[in-house]
Structure 1
Amino acid sequence: MPSITSWTRLEPRTRNAEMRTSVQARIYDPLWMLARQWQVGEFQGEDTGTPVMARLRAEVARLTRYFPGPIAPNTRATAREYDAKSTPLETLVERERVRPQANQPAAKSEKLRLAVDAGIHFLRLLDQQPIAPANRENYRNAFKRKFPFAALTAEERSTLDDDSRNFLDLMVSRAIDGRLLYSTLRATLRPDGGGTRGALPPDLQIAADEVAEVEKAAEIWLQWYETLFDEPNNIPAAWVPERMEYAFSVATRLSEGEQTLTAEEYYEGHLDWHVFNINAEVSMGAANDDAFTHITNTVIPAPVNFRGAPATRFWELEDAQVDFGAIPTGPADLPHLLLIEFANSFGNDWYVIPVELDVGSLCRTRSLVVTDTFGVSTLIRPNSESGAQHSAWRMFQLSHQRQTGLRPASNLFFLPPTLIKNIEGKPIEEVLFLRDETANMAWGLERLIESSIERPLNRLEASVAREEVSQSNSPAGGPTPNIPVYRLATQIPDYWVPLLPVQTDSVTRTVRLVRGAVLKPDGSQTTVKAQGRVLNPEPEAGLALYEEEIPREGIRVTRNFQYTRWLDGATHLWLGRRKQVGCGEGSSGLKFDTLES
């Protein structure tokens, strides 16, 4: 049936366009508001005085000792001295040998590009010396003849990839081998044990009045070559091959005695205070170090502010980039609910007290007295000393290495000498450790290794290239009938290293993954040799991974160069390692007793 729909809408309108009075938000009956506060019991709350002054007494000690590697309990280790102002902790822990050693068997085919660049730099320094132009050219040729690149044997050439082989062929008799030059100049100008300084080789035919200039260039070059990379100087490595992570300890002395901090599982690439634990079961010889001082600071506490925090002023709006109310949470999502409640209800209850500390120092707070706006002074004690029900809970304190329930809380603040920003290069070596449930074993898969010219070499591409060359060189036979072929075991690529579980301790039943052998077509066994450093740990004690270190998702271990600048302005270049989550399970295709048509 026809109808007419109508309605009436009420629109409030101000009688005056001036909004000043409304914006002032005046209170016309403050007594009524006070009465309502009394009625609901708000006057029975706690004293809400604002802190206006804080007095802090503490003792601060700089780190004085460093020890690489794990330390067994009840051990007194001989640790080396450490100055946090000279070297960042990541560099000290991660660095490994870059320059090849002259006494190593593979030194002839390692770091070819570095050897060439070092030789070119020496010639560049030689040109900067006040030497006669005619003699300068003679000296250049003499050094090239004296320190050439040695030609490799056929067996040594077979171990090189095509790019490295071509590079070496190009540099033979054309460039100076910086590795050979360094070993000769160091033995001559810087003999071990502070012996008598020798003379340059006579076959260089350097004029007597220009020997000083050539030796000056050699000294500058030696200093450059020895400080080009941060490398360990006759100290053990912090890398633990059986765990694929770093382990180390640092120590200092406070008034109560030696304090040792241990990091047993460091592999992320960035150190922070929570990586360390207090290790009271070892000693590193820091008990007599003179390292700590007492400080007393009287400061004004400042409120902590963060994005999205409740604004303090009436008409001030919060940062719109952070909306804690828009966080999607469920009834059982307690961490998110706690975060929202903290930010909205208690976010303006936190204050910060500025305390200046040197990087690489350990601080123990002795007392903290806070005075509020009512003139009341309160002694703030650590939560562990409050005697409350949850006094054992702590978030921002260092934990003990082994929790026994008998040790008190540490009440220590550690400011580690770590990096904020550094430049990382692309991986020069990459190894995947994965589980193969079909073959019931684990594998170490070398995806990338460092070639002789210091470039990442893809093992898969190199294996395919060798297979193509082998097939092209094999004689072509006539047509073969379609007869099944029996194989004792399928062929596995040479960059797949088998890892077999072995029980190494009958008492604890510890299982480790050790390098195994693969079957050849004739039934014999051969050990797969890795070409990188990750699967060839130093010292040569064999690879014996703990079984739990390779989970179902696998792990990925890489090596790459890193570069940074430290507090004193000095730059540091070192080679370190990383461990990350892998790519899941894998399949090698390993089968036994198969017929292939």
Structure 2
Amino acid sequence: MPEPRIADLPKALAGRSNPAVGIWNRLEGRPRTTDFQRALRAEVRDALWLLTRQWQLGEFRATDAGSPVTATYSIAGTRPSRFRPSGGAVEPLPGDRPLEALAERRPPAFTAGSDPIAFDLRLAIGRRWLKLLARDPVLANIAFDFRGQYVRMYPVALPDPTTDADAARVSDPETWATLQAVAGRRMDGYLLYRHVKDGGRASDGINDILHMHYPALDALGARLVAWFDDLIDRPGADATWDPRRLEHRFSVAGTAPDGTEKVLTAQEFPGGRLDWHAFSVDPDHPVGGAEPPLPPINRTVFPAQLRYAGMPLPRWWAVEDGGTNFAAVSPDSTDLARLIFLEFALVYSNDWYQLPCELPVGTLASIQGLAVTDVFGQRLWITPAGAGPDQDWQRWSMYTLDSGPGTPADTSLYLPASVPKVADGPALEEVSLIRDENADLVWGIELTVPRPTGEGRRGSEVAAEIRARHLRLHPPVPPDAPHAPIAYEAMNSVPEHWIPFIPVHVPGDNRTVQLQRAAMPNVVDGLPPVQPRTSLLREGLDVAPPHGYFVNQEEVPQTGTRLAVAYHRTRWQGGRVCVWLSAARGVGRGEGASGLAFDLLIDTPQAPAN
């Protein structure tokens, strides 16, 4: 159908006789001029008001101060080269791994009492050894069954389900199934590793005609030890973990520019990210053997004005981005810290500049001098704000090391060799230390305990399964028929993953109290008391002779303390992979109640009356 033709278009539009829908596919602005000067001007209709406002705010007060253009500084630094765990031997501070690995590493536990554990690592070492045998060009095609000999010589022992000693490995269905699958088929590589590590040879006990292949086997044994030593970073002799204080303690040392030794000690490092605030200057415990200081670093840089989100802008017609809401800050008249912060943010924030300063990782640096050249060509020598006659230990400032009472303030900055990101594995052990005011005890609750296969499992489930296994092996004797409706019970029981700590006096002190690990009786009479299953609470049980375990009372506050053991993995410079096992400390969740009670009267079941 053809579209109707409108003869008089203006008349039709005026009378709206032919309504239509307009469609545009392009809209263009029509500029009225080619000059942008007026659009770029900030026109003021009342210039007198603006001048009065500037005078009111003090913008016409000249301070004769110029903005910095360049800055030249000189830095004297040293790189700590010695490491010492608290109470341990001094060792070199290596540069091929982050400092967190040295500060937190602990040896993996392969036994818990007399029971072998960590079968994941044991089987991994054995698999590595069998692969070395298969890939070796000398040993791969020989007629002798070296593989079978090593499996028989270093076997995976199958636990006995009829004994109480193997209840922990039999009660867990997954562990029991794993051990049944590998027993007699795979070798316990840790036994071979321990044999070679202790001075033995990999060829010991192997049947080889004419002993022709012993040198090749011994060479592979050395390769196996080197591989596992590099796989997981472990302390050589002494670990930094202090079980009495529940924290890491260690020291690093280097030679200061003046030739004296400077020792930095981390007294209370809970684990995690390691930074400058964890260290204090320790002049009373020298380490010795540090390397010479680094050459001076002299650089000229360009200062940049300090900025932060939502900062007040210097122009009246500019609008802040709203990143900081100063209107939401409501300080009291006595809240001096918040008032000082607001004064800095609103009044003096645009007077601060920042300078780029690149330092080698792991450097203890001190600024020897700073010269600033402003826009007027004047060269100014800048001194530290904390310098002067009152530069003692009471002066605190950011990024300065704690130097202790009676010593001058240390204005140097320590840049530890740490990493920004660490991959944390699942918790293999987790313990919560809580206070029980009703029982007047401290309980170490094993929330997560390690399985013999290497994973972590809920402690309550493991305790219930082991308890059921003991009762199955030793069924309780049915009691005699009661003669009274009530009976006397000396003490009730608590779950077996609750380990008690009792308060005792410190030897030689009648006032100071410490916490000593105790033990609850077993559900079966005649069996040993319940022992902890985590390495955190088994301190002193796996050494000869065993000894007690004590914890300072102040380490378990009313909020409690939470401990966790897990593997950590990161990459260092050059792409080297670092893996270590460490313990970390956190804040607990408050007090708790175990329900432990003494001298109880309980109801006895009565036979129904005829």
| TM superposition score category, shorter chain reference | 0.7 to 0.9
Residues 1:306 and 1:508: Cα distance change in structure 2 (over 3 Å): farther
Distance 1:217 1:469 in 2: 43
Residues 1:571 and 1:314: Cα distance change in structure 2 (over 3 Å): farther
Q: Does 1:364 align with 2:366?
A: yes
Work out whether residues 554 and 585 of structure 1, in 8 Å CA contact, stay in contact via their aligned partners in 2: yes
2:68 counterpart (25, 28, 51):
51
Partner of 2:12: none
Deviations 1:533-565 (A, max 9, x none): 111225765321111111111111111111111
Residues 1:357 and 1:508: Cα distance change in structure 2 (over 3 Å): farther
After TM superposition, give the deviation of residue 128 of structure 1 in Å. Answer: 2.2
Partner of 2:96: 86
Residues 1:208 and 1:506: Cα distance change in structure 2 (over 3 Å): closer
Correspondences of 1:273-284 after superposition (within 5 Å):
273-284=276-287
Work out whether residues 362 and 416 of structure 2, in 8 Å CA contact, stay in contact via their aligned partners in 1: yes
2:121 counterpart (92, 114, 117):
114
Work out whether residues 75 and 297 of structure 2, in 8 Å CA contact, stay in contact via their aligned partners in 1: yes
After TM superposition, give the deviation of residue 38 of structure 1 in Å. Answer: 6.3
Correspondences of 1:235-250 after superposition (within 5 Å):
236-250=238-252
Work out whether residues 129 and 214 of structure 1, in 8 Å CA contact, stay in contact via their aligned partners in 2: no
- Matched residue SS, 1:309: coil
After TM superposition, give the deviation of residue 43 of structure 1 in Å. Answer: 4.2
Work out whether residues 149 and 177 of structure 1, in 8 Å CA contact, stay in contact via their aligned partners in 2: yes
Distance 1:168 1:184 in 2: 22
Residues 1:129 and 1:315: Cα distance change in structure 2 (over 3 Å): farther
Partner of 2:234: 231
- Matched residue SS, 1:383: coil
Deviations 1:7-58 (A, max 9, x none): xxxxxxxxx9999736521468989966876687654442331111111122
- Matched residue SS, 2:349: coil
1:581 counterpart (584, 587, 601):
587
Q: Does 1:263 align with 2:272?
A: no
Residues 1:566 and 1:428: Cα distance change in structure 2 (over 3 Å): same
After TM superposition, give the deviation of residue 400 of structure 1 in Å. Answer: 3.0
Correspondences of 1:475-514 after superposition (within 5 Å):
483-504=485-506, 506=508, 509-514=511-516
Residues 1:589 and 1:58: Cα distance change in structure 2 (over 3 Å): same
Partner of 1:64: 81
Distance 1:442 1:79 in 2: 35
Residues 1:448 and 1:399: Cα distance change in structure 2 (over 3 Å): same
Correspondences of 1:161-176 after superposition (within 5 Å):
161-162=171-172, 163-176=174-187
Q: Does 1:323 align with 2:324?
A: yes
The one-letter code sitting in structure 2 at the alignment partner of 1:143 is Y
Deviations 1:329-364 (A, max 9, x none): 243555444444433333332212222211111111
- Matched residue SS, 1:46: coil
TM-score under structure 2 length normalisation: 0.81
Partner of 2:151: 144
Partner of 2:457: 457
TM-score under structure 1 length normalisation: 0.83
Work out whether residues 430 and 557 of structure 1, in 8 Å CA contact, stay in contact via their aligned partners in 2: yes
Correspondences of 1:109-508 after superposition (within 5 Å):
109-130=116-137, 135=142, 138-152=145-159, 154-160=163-169, 161-162=171-172, 163-186=174-197, 191=199, 200-201=203-204, 203-205=206-208, 214=217, 217-234=220-237, 236-256=238-258, 257-286=260-289, 289-311=291-313, 317-320=319-322, 322-332=323-333, 334-386=336-388, 393-404=395-406, 407-469=407-469, 473-474=475-476, 483-504=485-506, 506=508
Q: Does 1:564 align with 2:565?
A: no
Residues 1:30 and 1:410: Cα distance change in structure 2 (over 3 Å): farther
Work out whether residues 243 and 546 of structure 1, in 8 Å CA contact, stay in contact via their aligned partners in 2: yes
Deviations 1:439-472 (A, max 9, x none): 1221111222212111213221123234445666
Tell me, which stretches of 5 or more residues in structure 2 are unaligned? 1-30, 604-610
- Matched residue SS, 1:492: coil
Distance 1:281 1:174 in 2: 57
The one-letter code sitting in structure 1 at the alignment partner of 2:275 is D
Partner of 2:6: none
Distance 1:58 1:457 in 2: 52
**Which range moved further: 541-550 or 387-396?**
387-396
After TM superposition, give the deviation of residue 221 of structure 1 in Å. Answer: 2.7
Deviations 1:85-125 (A, max 9, x none): 2121111011111163xxx7846512222111211222223
The one-letter code sitting in structure 1 at the alignment partner of 2:132 is L
Residues 1:120 and 1:25: Cα distance change in structure 2 (over 3 Å): same
Work out whether residues 65 and 82 of structure 1, in 8 Å CA contact, stay in contact via their aligned partners in 2: yes
Residues 1:137 and 1:453: Cα distance change in structure 2 (over 3 Å): farther
Give the aligned CA root-mean-square deviation in angstroms.
3.6
Deviations 1:245-294 (A, max 9, x none): 111111111123221111111104111111111122221115x6312321
User: Which of the pair has more CA radius of gyration?
Assistant: 2
Identity of aligned residues (%): 29
Tell me, which stretches of 5 or more residues in structure 1 are unaligned? 1-15, 71-76, 193-197
Residues 1:521 and 1:33: Cα distance change in structure 2 (over 3 Å): closer
Distance 1:517 1:140 in 2: 45
Residues 1:134 and 1:237: Cα distance change in structure 2 (over 3 Å): closer
Distance 2:589 2:598 in 1: 26
After TM superposition, give the deviation of residue 593 of structure 1 in Å. Answer: 1.0
Partner of 1:594: 600
Deviations 1:497-543 (A, max 9, x none): 22122221555832211123557899999865222111122576532
After TM superposition, give the deviation of residue 489 of structure 1 in Å. Answer: 1.4
Corresponding residue pairs, total: 559
Residues 1:570 and 1:78: Cα distance change in structure 2 (over 3 Å): same
